[in-house]
Amino acid sequence: MLMRSIIEQAKMDGFKSISLSVDPENSNAIHIYKKLGFKDYDYDGNSYIMILTI
C-alpha cells in the first residue's frame, strides 16, 4: 500500500519515473516491485536498480 501511495504522489507531483535499489537476494521485494510495474534497469555490483515509468 505504501509503494502505491508513493507512486500516486509522484504522478500528482509530475514525476516521469521512479527508481529504487534492491538487494539481489531479496527475491520477495523484487517480485513485488515487478508486480507494481518496475523494470530491471541496471546492476551496480551490490544491488539491482529498478525503474518505473509513470
Please give the tally of structural domains in the chain.
1
Query: In terms of residue numbers, what domain contains 29?
Result: 2-53
Model confidence, pTM? 0.87
pLDDT of res. 33: 97
Half-sphere exposure of 13 (CA within 13 A, CB side): 9
Instruction: Check: CB of residue 47 under 8 Å from CB of residue 21.
Output: yes
Q: The CATH number of the domain where 26 resides is what?
A: 3.40.630.30
Mean pLDDT by runs of 10 across the 54 residues of the chain is: 95 97 97 97 96 96
DSSP state of 47: S
pLDDT of res. 36: 97
Q: Which grid coordinates are listed for 33?
A: 516491485
